[in-house]
Structures are given as C-alpha cells and as structure tokens.
Structure 1
Amino acid sequence: MANYFITYSYLYHQKDMLEDHVRTGAYFNACMRNKAQFKDRVVLDVGTGSGILAIFAAKAGAKKVYAVEATSMAQHARELVDAQGLSKVVEVIQGTIESVTLPEKVDIIISEWMGYFLLRESMLDSVLVARDKFLKPDGALYPSHARMFLAPIRSQLTQNRFQECSNSVENWHDFVADMKEYYDVDLNCLTESFIEEQQDYFVKTATWADVHPNQLLGPPVCFASLDLLTVTQDEIKKALEANYSMHLPQMCTVEGLAGFFDVEFKGSPSNPATDCVLLSTAPSATGATHWGQLIFSLQPGIPCPQNSTIEGKIDITRRGDNHRLLDVTLSEQALRMGENNRKDLAKYLFHIE
C-alpha cells in the first residue's frame, strides 16, 4: 500500500478483478437489467480501471459516460473502449476524481470501490467526493447501499496461524543460541520485540480466507449499513462503532469471526432500479469472490453451550500511518448463557493490511 494507485496500473491486477465473475457479473446485471434507468443518462465511472463498467453503462443505453482513472491504466481503457466502438459515448479521463472537472452534472455514478471488509483502501472517500461534486440532486449511485457482517466460525486456519507464530518464536530462540555459540553475541535483548513482531503478523493481522458455509456456527449478523446517497464524507472518515450479538444454536467452539460485506444496486428514490441486484461476498459453497472473507482469529477458541450468544462491540478505525489500512477492535465481549448467566471475554485488536 506504499503507493495505492500503482497496483491498479497493471493489466494482471485488472484481470484478477475481471475474472471474478460474481463481481463483474453483478455490475453487468445491474446495468443490463436496468436499461430504462441508464437510457439517455449521463454516467460517471469513478476509478474506471480497464473501463469495463463504463462499457457496461454505455451498452445499457447511457448517452455519455465519463470514465475517470487515476493511473496509466487509462490508456488501456481508451483502447478497450475504442475496440468496442464506444469512443463517441465513453470519454476516458486520466486523473484523480478530486482533481478533474466535468462539463456537466451526471445522472448516475457507478464505481467498484469496495476493499477487503468493505472499507479497506478508503476508496469510498473518492466516490463521495464525486457524488458531492458531480451528481444531480435526483441522481443515483451504483451500488447504492452497503452492509457489513460478522459470523462465528470454526477454522483450522486460526489454529495454523497460532502454530506458525509459535514455530517462529521457537526458531528465534534457536537462532539466539547459535549466535551466542558461534559469535559470542547475545541477542536476547531483542527477543521481546521479535515476539511482539511475530504476534502482530500471525495473530493480530486479519487473514484472507475462502470460508465454506459449513464452517459457520451461527447466522451472520449485520452490524453496519451505509446508504451511499446520504452518508457524509465526515461520517465515513470517523471510527465505525457498532454492537453485535451472535446466536450459537449448537454447542461449539468459536475459533474466529469471519468478516464480509454485500452491496445492493437499488438506484435512487427518484430513479429506482427495476431489478435490484445484490453482490455478496458471504461464504459460498461455490467459492469466494476475490474479496473472500477476513478471519479474525480467536485463540484459544471460545467454548459455547447450546443456544448461547456472543455479544460485543466492534470498532473499525483508519490506521494513523496509512489511512487506506484499518485497525479492528473487538471489545466488551461476553458469552451469554441464559438471561442471568454472563461470562466476560477477552479484548482483541486486529490489523487489516
């Protein structure tokens, strides 16, 4: 994340996203199943990348599409637009959305801005800037709404991560002994820092995973919802704080929480979608989207009796050293076993790199 835009200037990265057919198919359907909403409209594609969403909008009937791209991928987008015979409709503009100007207001803003756990990368900031600068008062955003979820899971991955951390620390102790024996240099003064470093990486960093539905120990809970037409830039930059309560219908051991999101293409009150399309990154038996799910590992696992509840508070904040990365805190956690039986649980801090 040292230079956020560089990765998106490579075709291999665009290919990774395009071949995610859940993602690409959802945007295609949102346009093609709502041609009445796009017909003769002016559309802005924020972060067009390869230009694929701008092409979808044009094929759905838009009379003009402004496709804004911050990186040199803009040149490839122009080539792709030209190859489709759409250069009279789609205008590719290289620059950040914060710096460009348009000759007119737009009816629709379309963008694929979502990062891991929805908010990583903070590209939503740019979409809201575009909305406030360029969207007509009765305009629509595609997608229009977003939701964030947590679900309790069992996962060998959490055990593996802790074992990797333990193995790394054990290897360090052997290394310290070797350095003392061979070179008479005592590195023990660095041991505590090394352990903290390894725990930060293996234990406190959320891990990408393709979670199968049979790993779920209870139904996912929605802890946050965003209406992209009304949420403000100030609100999205603040820490997201929410409470959650997860029901465990069977006796189990919760080894982690899976975080994921979905977005909906509902149009706007003035121009509602005919067919509301849902793009979900929830665990699926057919495999994960490129977003997958993020696993927040809980070790040791939490033994839960039948019909118990894990409740707590989640705080999502932007990293001070890089606003595109996130810190996630799970606090005020408790296992509730009946109305008057409550057991306090540990507090956890995770990084989303």
Structure 2
Amino acid sequence: MSHAGKKRKLDKNRQDRLYFDSYSDVTIHEEMIADHVRTNTYRTAIHRNSESIRGKVVLDVGAGTGVLSIFCAQAGALKVYAVEACSIAEQAEQIVKHNNLEDRIEVIRGTVETVDLPEKVDVIVSEWMGYALLHESMLNSVLYARDKWLKPDGIILPNKAELYIAPMCDPVAEDRLHFWYTVKDKYGVDMSCMYDFARKCVMNSDITVNTVTVEDVLSHPARFAEIDLHTVTVEELRSVKGQFSCESFGSAAVNAFCVFFTVTFPCPDKLQPIVLSTSPFKPETHWKQAVLYLGGAVEVVQDTPVTGEVSMYPSEGSARHICIHVDYTIGEEKRQAKTFSIPDWSAEAQP
C-alpha cells in the first residue's frame, strides 16, 4: 500500500455509501449468519431475556436480513422495528413475510439517524461490532438510537464490550523473513540482503485480520478497555484507550500483538451473563483477531513483563475506519510505539 501521497479524506456521505453498499451483497450476510458462535449467542441471549422482551417494543439497529428481529419476535416481542439502511432490507421484508411475522416486525429502510419511529422502545438489539470491535462498527448509531428512542428503564443487547491485548509470535511471518536466507542454498544466489526490505513489508503498519492459534499467544490476555453501552458517549468513542500489563509464558520471540473483544448480554435470571468472545482461546468467529506486527521480533523468557498503553481512534481519512496506537515495553527493551490501521482501499481508489 503506497504512502507516497496523502490520502484524500472521504466526505461522510461517501463513507456511509461505501459502507452500506458493502452490505448489499449476499456474501457478508452468509458469513455472519453462518458464524454459529455469533448467531447462536444472540439467539440464546435474546431468549434468555424473554421476560424483558415479551409484550414489549424492540428496535433492531442495522437489522440486515432481520434474523435478530425474528429472534425477538420468537421471544414474544409485541412489535419490532427492523431498521436497515442498505438494500438488503428488501430481502429482510421477504424473510419476515416468509416466517409469517409481518404483523409484528416492521422493516424500515433508512439509517436510524433519519427514520422516524411512532413510539419509544423498551429494548434495543444490534449486532454492531466490527473488526477489533470498532472498525466500521455501528456503535455510534446504537448510541443515537439509545438517546432518542430507548425508554429510561430500557435494555440494550448486548450492553457491555471489552477489549483485550496479548503478545504473540506469528511463525508464518518469521518463516517469510527467514526465506531470504534459504535462497542461496536452493538457487546459488545470496538474497539475504532482502531481509530488511522484507521485514518492512511483512511487519508493516496494517491491522491484519487473521485467525490466531492458541499456541502463538505468549501470555494471558490483558483487558485494556471496557465500554458500557448504557452510559458511553460518542465523544468518549473518539479515543478508547487503556493500559495493559502481562507476563510471557516462556521462551519465544514476540513479533506481534493480538487484539480481540468480547460483548456481554445482561442475564436477568442471575445466572452467568452470556458472553460472545472473539478470543483465540474460544471457538473461531468471523471477526477472527486483529494482529499488529511489531517492527521486529523481541526475545522473551518465562515471566518477561510486557506492558504498555493502547489507544483506538477513528482514522482521519474515514471516520468508520479505526486506528490503533500501541506504546509498549518488552522486558528490558526501550519503550516503542507504533500506529496501525486497516488499509482503506476505497480512499486509495479515489482520483
């Protein structure tokens, strides 16, 4: 990805159009619904909260195909307003009719910021999370809906989110870098001088969305931020940050950090709350994990301290795109800092 020229900042209307257009194809909805951890956790949480939903009015923010709205109707909701901004709303209407629920679920085409509901709601449900929780997420829209439409004693599903970080070793990245030292034995040409160039390319500043295996995680994850959906403000989301501290499991080379999230649903029957986790220690989800590559590998031994601070904030080029800045210290190494972002190909494509 070229950084030679400054990216053009996309105006908000174009950002939103690009975002909503991406949800007009069947592929992304297939991926989300096929994510059993995601879909079944929402279904379980909604039915577990049936006492709070039965006979009540529900707002589904970013309803997509309407599956969460249908779960709410199955849990006894009197009325569900399924608000969806992209053209998949047409398919949601068909699905609602196909399930004979058009008398209780009303699909409304538009953004939650522009639609007009005829009444306040008792429950807001939304699957708003993006990669690394906040990338391209709809959380701002959920907060808008909360402030405008939710009754004072209403509930939000889910109602809490937490962010975690852990040092890791990605062996694939190490193998790619080591490759340049093997060329001479294979072909008689010494290309070891390519190492530094390859390191800059492989260990770049992109947020890489990938599946991290348990074996590659080098410490217990550390929580660095918590978001309460009942109280958090849009202003506070402009900088979500916190400190972290952990200790390495054993001897290894730390070459990246792994960032993931959980969201928690209230549990009125006083049992354990229901948690949807994207941890590498839990079953895989379509969110996978966010991998942040360091400038180079740092060797650690058992109980080497890894400390620092993480800051997450919207990109200057596109408010829907997240940047992650990490200040960190590994063992006796001097403090380092690096800023990461997910490549914004839509901005690069602009003339």
Whole-Å separation in 2 of the counterparts to 1:147 and 1:285: 15
Whole-Å separation in 2 of the counterparts to 1:42 and 1:241: 35
Partner residue in 1 for 2:124: 109
Letter in 2 for 1:247: E
Instruction: Using structure 1 for the length normalisation, give the TM-score.
Output: 0.83
Whole-Å separation in 2 of the counterparts to 1:33 and 1:300: 47
Given that 1:143 and 1:266 are in contact with CA atoms closer than 8 Å, whether structure 2 keeps it comes out as: yes
The Cα shift of 1:251 comes to 2.4
Range moving further from structure 2, 108-117 or 312-321: 312-321
Letter in 2 for 1:335: I
Match of 1:344 among 317, 329, 334: 334
Whole-Å separation in 2 of the counterparts to 1:239 and 1:28: 31
Letter in 1 for 2:325: T
Match of 1:120 among 135, 144, 147: 135
Whole-Å separation in 2 of the counterparts to 1:258 and 1:277: 23
Given that 2:59 and 2:83 are in contact with CA atoms closer than 8 Å, whether structure 1 keeps it comes out as: yes
Whole-Å separation in 2 of the counterparts to 1:164 and 1:326: 32
The DSSP-based 3-state class of the residue aligned with 1:245 is: strand
Q: How many residues align?
A: 313
Partner residue in 1 for 2:92: 77
Whole-Å separation in 2 of the counterparts to 1:115 and 1:165: 36
Letter in 2 for 1:280: S
- Superposed CA RMSD in Å reads 2.4
Partner residue in 1 for 2:302: 306
Partner residue in 1 for 2:233: 232
The DSSP-based 3-state class of the residue aligned with 2:71 is: helix
The DSSP-based 3-state class of the residue aligned with 2:279 is: coil
The DSSP-based 3-state class of the residue aligned with 2:154 is: strand
Partner residue in 1 for 2:204: 203
The DSSP-based 3-state class of the residue aligned with 1:68 is: strand
Whole-Å separation in 2 of the counterparts to 1:75 and 1:201: 42
Deviations, residues 223-258 of structure 1 (Å, cap 9, x unaligned):
00011001012111x222211112113222212111
Instruction: Using structure 2 for the length normalisation, give the TM-score.
Output: 0.83
Partner residue in 2 for 1:281: 278
The 4+ residue runs of structure 1 with deviation greater than 6 A are 163-166, 271-275
The Cα shift of 1:275 comes to 6.2
Deviations, residues 51-76 of structure 1 (Å, cap 9, x unaligned):
00000000001000000000111110
Partner residue in 2 for 1:141: 156
> Is 1:213 aligned to residue 228 of structure 2?
no
Range moving further from structure 2, 38-47 or 208-217: 208-217
Given that 2:66 and 2:82 are in contact with CA atoms closer than 8 Å, whether structure 1 keeps it comes out as: yes
Whole-Å separation in 2 of the counterparts to 1:50 and 1:310: 43
Letter in 1 for 2:100: G
Contiguous gaps of at least 5 residues in structure 2: 1-14, 182-196, 344-351
Which aligned pairs between 1:34-45 and structure 2 lie closer than 5 A?
Answer: 34-45=49-60
Deviations, residues 122-160 of structure 1 (Å, cap 9, x unaligned):
410000000001000001100000000101112123336
Partner residue in 1 for 2:324: 328
Letter in 2 for 1:73: I
The Cα shift of 1:352 comes to 2.3
Partner residue in 1 for 2:111: 96
Whole-Å separation in 2 of the counterparts to 1:202 and 1:217: 18
Q: Percent identity?
A: 37
Whole-Å separation in 2 of the counterparts to 1:274 and 1:163: 50
The Cα shift of 1:272 comes to 7.3
The Cα shift of 1:292 comes to 0.2
The Cα shift of 1:162 comes to 5.7
Contiguous gaps of at least 5 residues in structure 1: 167-194, 337-341
Whole-Å separation in 2 of the counterparts to 1:120 and 1:231: 17
Letter in 2 for 1:334: T
Given that 2:256 and 2:292 are in contact with CA atoms closer than 8 Å, whether structure 1 keeps it comes out as: yes
The Cα shift of 1:34 comes to 2.3
Whole-Å separation in 2 of the counterparts to 1:16 and 1:121: 16
Which aligned pairs between 1:175-194 and structure 2 lie closer than 5 A?
Answer: none
